[in-house]
Amino acid sequence: MKKNVSVIMAVITLVLCFALSACANKYVSRYNATLMVRTNTSNNALVTFDTFSGTHVIKLKNNGADEVFITYEATLGEGNVKVYYDFNDEKLNLFEIESNGSVDSKTETFTGNKTIYIIIESDGECSDGKFSFVLEKSEK
């Protein structure tokens, strides 16, 4: 009887561990792409692709109490892409880019030791894209 209770408790513990770890990712990447190159460190990310369709999620981390902002650049050959960011549990529009478009700007200032999510979503298939994001310390 004790062995059965131990086995049941072990199974319940494993199920809870898997369930909790699956919830750790707030956003999930789901996409089809060709010739896609991705680099992602805690304070910069680069995504280039020949073709892309779907959603790609990038995580940047403000590792301190300093104020930071994100400088970003993007170019797109064909298609339509919307880029969002999430800093305080709210998905906000960062920019939208269409065929033969380019964007070069920076975000508002973020404060706190938190993860900043960048969500790239295409509206159908896109081609010839390059997206760059760099987390920089704010100059006061």
Taking only the tens place, the pLDDT of each residue in 65-113 is 778 888 999 999 999 999 999 877 888 999 999 999 999 998 887 777 6
Domains of the chain: total: 1
Tokens (6 digits) for 69: 């902002």
Say if 70 falls within a structural domain. yes
Question: Is the sign of the CA dihedral 93, 114, 29, 24 positive or negative?
Answer: negative
What's the CATH code of the domain at 133? 2.60.120.260
Closest CA to 64 of 134, 6, 137: 137
Say if 65 falls within a structural domain. yes
Say if 16 falls within a structural domain. no
Say if 7 falls within a structural domain. no
Band of the pLDDT at 54, cuts 50, 70, 90?
very high
What is the spatial distance between Cα 95 and Cα 104, in angstroms, rounded to a whole number? 10
Query: Whole-model pTM above 0.85?
Result: no
Instruction: Give the domain extent around 125.
Output: 28-137
- Each residue of 49-74: b (16+ CB within 10 Å) or e? bebbbebbbbebebeeeeebbbebeb
Q: List pLDDT tens digits, range 15-48.
A: 554 444 444 568 899 999 999 998 888 889 999 9
Say if 20 falls within a structural domain. no
Q: Is 128 left (phi over 0), alpha (psi -120 to 50) or beta?
A: left
Per DSSP, 14 falls in state H
pLDDT reported for residue 21: 46
Q: How many CB atoms lie within 10 A of CB 38?
A: 14
Say if 17 falls within a structural domain. no
